[in-house]
Every structure is written in C-alpha cells, then in structure tokens.
C-alpha cells in the first residue's frame, strides 16, 4: 500500500505498519488492527480513498429528478413515505441524516421502503436495482467519488466496511451490500 495512509475506522487515527500485512492504530486505547494486504476499510472518520467512498461524504447528485446531498441522505430518505418529507431528507447532509436515522424506523416493522410514492420490499430485486441506479447517478455526478472508484480499480484495492449492521432487517444497507454496490461500479 505504498503512498497510501490508512486511518482507523473506529477513531480516525493513522494506522502504523507492523508486518507486511498488519497495520495497527496509533491510539493505544483503540486496539484496532488491519491484517489484510491492499485493503481499504471505508469510513467517514478516515481520510483519503477510505473517506472518499463513504456514503456520508457531501457528493450532491440528482436521481429521478430529486436532488440528493449525499448517498446517505438518499438512503435515509427511503424510510419516508411522504414525498415532500422525503425530498427534504434528500437535501440534508449525510451526517445529519445519519444522526436522525431512528426518527423514521417504521420500515423495520413492514420491511418496506419508499421512493417517490412507490412502496418497495427491502429484500427485493427492485430495491437492489434502485440502489444500483442511485449509485450510478452518484458516480456520474461526483468527480471525486468517480476518481476514488477508478483508483480502487486501477490499484486493485480490496474494499471492506468493518462497521455497520449486518442484519438486513435492521439496516437499509449492510456492509456486504454496500461493498457489492461499489464493486458493481468498479466493473
């Protein structure tokens, strides 16, 4: 990982290289280690490519004629059935939308989300297609995000997202779904 500075996804401190495949957090109380060669662990608290691929980054894009301040804003808006409120959520910053994510938790009961008045099953192919199309739109509208995706492809980095809920009944985007969507763009 020459010329790449890795940062801890937990506390944001720089990781120090130990062995050829081991990186350790400089924060002694954190105890985070990365033991994979050529891997990017995506985190908004980090820097470089790791941060640039975060859904919380302020990469505005338009999807289905709706302005979205970030991918996180779009994802959190899917919890809202009211089109007016949904558009308002889309316009807010990623970190703000993440901070109010529990405000719209009714979807967990029904496992249904919404986009422009249409109800979508969280576990359906239609939902994954919606996310793919949103990520394509983000890729096409954000030069920095596009550059980061191209750099991952060029350098052959592996991607992971070690934080986040893995239960698809509890989150709108599991780490595996997130990474799969990014690899979809890389191909």
How is the chain split into domains, by residue range?
61-154
Reported as a single tens digit per residue, the pLDDT across 30-76 is 666 655 568 889 999 888 899 999 999 999 999 999 999 999 999 99
Reported as a single tens digit per residue, the pLDDT across 143-178 is 999 999 999 998 888 899 998 899 999 999 999 999
Q: What's the predicted TM-score (pTM) here?
A: 0.80
DSSP the chain: -TT---B-TTT-PBEEE-STT-EEES-TTT--EE--TTEEE--TTS-HHHHHT-TTS---EEETTEEESSHHHHHHHTT---HHHHHHHHHS-HHHHHHTGGGG-THHHHTEEEETTEEEETTSHHHHHHHHHHHHHHHHH-HHHHHHHHHHHHHT-EEE--SS---TTT-SS-HHHHHHHHHHHH-
Reported as a single tens digit per residue, the pLDDT across 175-185 is 999 999 999 99
Q: By percentage, how much of the chain surpasses pLDDT 70?
A: 85
């Amino acid at each position: 990982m020459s010329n790449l500075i890795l940062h801890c996804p937990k506390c944001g401190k720089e990781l120090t290289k130990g062995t050829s495949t081991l990186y350790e957090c400089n924060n002694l109380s954190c105890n985070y280690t990365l033991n994979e060669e050529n891997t990017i662990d995506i985190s908004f608290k980090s820097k470089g490519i790791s941060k640039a691929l975060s859904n919380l980054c302020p990469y505005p894009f338009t999807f289905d004629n709706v302005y979205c301040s970030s991918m996180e804003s779009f994802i959190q808006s899917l919890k809202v059935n009211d089109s007016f409120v949904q558009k308002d959520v889309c316009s807010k910053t990623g970190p703000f939308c993440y901070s109010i994510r529990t405000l719209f938790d009714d979807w967990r009961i029904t496992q249904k989300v919404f986009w422009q008045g249409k109800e979508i099953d969280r576990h359906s192919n239609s939902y994954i297609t919606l996310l793919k199309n949103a990520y394509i739109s983000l890729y096409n509208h954000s030069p920095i995000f596009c550059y980061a995706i191209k750099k991952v492809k060029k350098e052959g980095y592996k991607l992971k997202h070690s934080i986040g809920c893995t239960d698809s009944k509890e989150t709108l985007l599991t780490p595996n779904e997130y990474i799969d969507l990014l690899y979809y763009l890389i191909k």
